[in-house]
Amino acid sequence: MQTRSEAEEHLRIIRSLMEKATIYRAISAPGALVAGICAVALATVGWTTSNPHDSTRFFQLWALVLFLSVAVNLSLLRRDAGRRGEQFFSPGMKLALRAMLPALIAGGLCFFVAEVGGCALTASLWVLLYGVSLLAASHFAPRSIRWLGRAFFVAGASLMVTGGFVFGTWRIGNESGLAHLIMGATFGLFHLIYAACTWPRATGGET
């Protein structure tokens, strides 16, 4: 060891490996199941009964689903941490929050422009930013979270690319219904698939 820079390089290697080795599952399988069921149920009801241009009701209902899903997921993560004898607010959770928060906050900020952009565009942005937030945590997340992030990112990006044409068409028709459909097909179905894929192995290795 001759120089300070060499010592810093070794510390960087240690830090990077420790971060990689810290696997943190930010979404529990039962939490994803609850979120998926709520999202699919609301999307089905919203698709069939919503007022085509009542975006306020759309945002209120999905904010409620978000609140419920986050509350259930956090309580399940707390229970799992307790079972493992770990702290709820563990270093892994802090690492995950640091990585995910910027994109999640950006998604929350979409509420402020939602009335201008319309609910279909806002829903697409949520899908994209949720995917970005999951991918940001992918260095220390199990493979299943990485795949979930990729699925949301690809779906969000596709919706943004096709949005100009599709949303323009639907704005004349049932835009609120389309937004419910987007939310149900992504936040609903993707979380249900994630829950199904991780459930049997949730108590075993990290998948």
Residues that bind other proteins (CB under 8 A): 1-5, 7-8, 10-11, 13-14, 17-18, 20-22
DSSP letters spanning 123-153:
HHHHHHHHHHHHHHTGGGS-HHHHHHHHHHH
Nearer to other proteins by Cβ, of 14 and 105: the residue is: 14
Q: What's the closest the beta carbon of residue 74 comes to other proteins, in angstroms?
A: 25
Nearer to other proteins by Cβ, of 20 and 57: the residue is: 20
Q: How far apart are CA 40 and CA 125, in angstroms?
A: 19
Residue 85 φ/ψ region, left for φ over 0, alpha for ψ in the -120 to 50 degree band, beta for the rest = left
* Neighbour tally for 200: CB within 10 Å: 10
Q: What's the closest the beta carbon of residue 197 comes to other proteins, in angstroms?
A: 20
Q: What's the closest the beta carbon of residue 80 comes to other proteins, in angstroms?
A: 17
User: Computed from CA positions of residues 68, 73, 76, 78, in that sequence, does the dihedral angle turn out positive or negative?
Assistant: negative
Nearer to other proteins by Cβ, of 8 and 115: the residue is: 8
Q: What's the closest the beta carbon of residue 2 comes to other proteins, in angstroms?
A: 7
